[in-house]
Amino acid sequence: MVVSEGYEQHYAPLTSQTVSATLDAAGVRKHINVLDVCTGPGMLAAAVVKREASVLGLDFCKQMIGIAMRNVPKASFLVGDAQSLPFDDGSFDAVVCGYGVIHVAEPQKALSEMRRVLKTGGRVSISVWERPTPMNGVGLLFASIKKHGDLAVPLPDGPDSFQFSQKKKMVGALEETGFKEVTAKIIKQEWELNDARDLEAAIMKGGVRARGLLEAQNRSARIAIANAIELGLKQYFMSDGVYRVPMPAIIGAGTK
């Protein structure tokens, strides 16, 4: 399975939970035109269409654009780079970006580009994962690797995935980009898993940096990490037979 399909299968049910709050924060409403940066399988784009606004989804991965076109035939999609948006200044009423800036090589460049293509008075809204804590699934993963493996294994160059993952940091980054009326809020959401092994499986099939981190561990560490994750997940096992793992997001928004 390619990562784009794995992402759609394992992460989309989770990241879909952030969609309406992201659109609300960007003021998405009837008849406006919206850019969805790092659209992935197009969940945000689909919700924009439902609000009767027009939307263009952009992603640098051709396979993702193929999936998004299949999922949201009423939206337009384009292969392109978030760090160099192929649009004139002031082209959009609103710009949204779900869990995208954390994957872009130069996130600050992407934020500046989002601001450039917004009309004056238009609003941007971006989502990221909350930083790892003992109360969330990301924290369980990182604590398990820290205890039984090595968090400092060499990985391909990439941005710090958690650089916007606190409200204060999110507000600072958006204000530094020049946005006004900046807000940041935490959104509670849950990863629903049928089996305790599904968390690691989901990361291996649809993740990028977390998958790299797991792949770089040696065999015995991998086994110990998987066991620690399984054990840690017990606290999230619910009476209806599923695991509900807290995976909060932070949504930051601002006006040009």
Residue list 23-62, contact with ligand SAM (CB under 6 A)? 38-40, 43-44, 59-61
Q: How far is the CB of 41 from ligand SAM (least distance, A)?
A: 7
Does the protein bind ligand SAM through residue 104 (CB under 6 A)?
yes
- Nearest distance, CB of residue 121 and ligand SAM, angstroms: 24
Least separation in angstroms between residue 79's CB and ligand SAM is: 8
Helix/strand/coil (H/E/C) assignment for every residue in 138-185: HHHHHHHHHHHCCCCCCCCCCCCCCCCCCHHHHHHHHHHHCCEEEEEE
Q: In the complex with ligand SAM, which residue's Cβ is closer, 98 or 248?
A: 98
- Nearer Cβ to ligand SAM (61/199): 61
> Please, which residue, 60 or 87, has the CB nearer to ligand SAM?
60
Of residues 40 and 232, the one with the C-beta less far from ligand SAM: 40
For ligand SAM, the binding residues in 56-95 under the rule CB under 6 A are: 59-61, 64, 81-83
Size of the site for ligand SAM (CB under 6 A): 18
Among 26, 71, 100, 200, indicate the residue that binds ligand SAM (CB under 6 A): 100
Q: Which residues bind ligand SAM (CB under 6 A)?
A: 15, 38-40, 43-44, 59-61, 64, 81-83, 98-100, 103-104
